[in-house]
Every structure is written in C-alpha cells, then in structure tokens.
Chains A and B, each alone.
Chain A
Amino acid sequence: MRLSCPICGERDRREFHYGGAALERPAPEAGAAAWDAYLHLRENPAGRSRELWYHESGCTAWLVVERDTVTHEIHGVTLAAGGR
C-alpha cells in the first residue's frame, strides 16, 4: 500500500501510522452520548471511509485519508491541520 503525503509525495505504507476514523471531537459539555459515540462507536463502512494517518517516519504530518475499504482505492489525502 502506498499513500500520497501532500508534503512528501507518494510513500510506502510502512512510513505511516494508522490513526483511526477521522471524527470531530465533541465539546466538553456535549454529554455522555456524544462522548460515547466519539470514543467507542465506529461505522466500519464497506466503501468510502475517512481516516487519520500519521506520516510518522516522514514529515510528521497528520493526514486525512479518504479510502475505499472494498477496493482499497485512495480518493484523497489532505493535511489534518489544513493548508499545506
């Protein structure tokens, strides 16, 4: 598997660390249900998913990767912090 880091370009998967689903962190007072969902409930889609990957042994950017869990096609990679 290869991922295209917006900063470094296409790199082998071994440079990256998988960081789970890309989710919005709830507000502190969002309530138990929202926090439960953020911490424990995952969609596990057969198809497109939005994931976080960390270019750990590369530039150290956190990335948002849109990936198809069925075809393994990668639809897009952006910097989690925005910009470039």
Chain B
Amino acid sequence: MAELIALSPAGAALPKRIGAVTLTEAPFAPMTGISPHAGEVAQVSAALEAAHGLALPGPGRMLSGAGIEVLWFGRNRWLLIGAAPGDGLAAHAALTDQSDAWVSVIVQGAAGVDVLARLVPVDLRPRAFAEGSVIRTELFHMPAAIARTGAEDLRVMCFRSMAGTLVHDLVTAAEAVAARG
C-alpha cells in the first residue's frame, strides 16, 4: 500500500524575501500541548526538567535547549516543541498532540518588527519584547502566537488552516514596509 505523504501547511507559498525581510516556514517539529492538572504546575515543571532539561517558563516567556523549546502558551498552557513528551508528564498534565495544528513562519530581519506592527496590536520591539518572549495575540483577523527567537528573528504561529491568509497578510505588510525604503 502507498504511504501517506506529509505536507507542510504553507507549502510552496514560502520562502519569500521582501525588502529586508525573509519569510520562511519552520520545518516540521513535534509539538505537544501541556496543561497541568489542578495544582500540579510544579510537578509538571519538575517532570519536564527531568525529561527534557527545561522547566516551565513563566507567562510570556519561552525556554530553549538543544533542539527543544518550551513556550508559555496561555492560561495554564505550555507548548513543548521538538520532542515527544517524556515519561512522567502524562501523570500530571493533559497532553495533546499539536504538531499539525499550527503554521509557523519565521520573520527574519530588522524590519520584521515594522512588518508585524502592521498586523499585531502589541509592541514587539526588542525593548518591550526581548529574546525569549512569547505572546498570544491577534495577527490582523487571526489568532496568533508570536515568539522572539533571536535579535532579529520572530516566529509567528497561526492556525494551520489559515496558512494562506497568514502568508498573504505578511507579504502585504512586508511590501508596504519595503516600499517605504
């Protein structure tokens, strides 16, 4: 029997370079939603540290290790990226596979902040949104998560089904920024 071929959410729409900004789709990585059961945040953090070497970050923050990231992802919610959840987590938290739920686009370049200022109602300049910061917010009309993964790197995550609109919105904004010179 034929095997099922996996497709990425943005597919051929990316990468793109517009002015001083590049838009690239992040490669596939396993993602697991982690929601600790009542009163068990500490246990989950300990189990996570034991399994992956990273504790649960506080609100609005992310932690990175070797190929692994843990993002604060909302009220009592975190996202483990880059590895299947280790043993010991399931006992203390609701785990859900989210590997396919998001399209992740890396917006790279100093003008990335200006591009996203066209779409996102939150201050993403480094002084307000330093490396390791994460927010849940809106990108134009869509729910989004945004993380600063580097001095000039922002990762934008939207629902997979909206990948086409995300690319459209980012490209439109980037063109306008680029045209200002």
Contacts and interface: CB of A to CB of B under 8 A. Distances in A.
Contacts of B77: 59-60
B135 interface: yes
B138 A14 contact: yes
Interface of A is mostly: loop
Interface size class of B (residues with CB under 8 A): 10 to 19
Contacts, number: 38
Given A57-B143, A59-B59, A11 B74 contact: no
A8 B138 contact: no
B2 to A, nearest CB: 40
B75 A57 contact: no
A55 B122 CA distance: 14
Interface residues of A, number: 14
Given A8-B60, A9-B60, A14-B121, A57 B74 contact: no
Given A8-B135, A58-B135, 11 more contacts: A12-B121, A12-B122, A15-B121, A15-B137, A57-B137, A59-B59, A59-B75, A59-B136, A60-B74, A60-B136, A61-B75
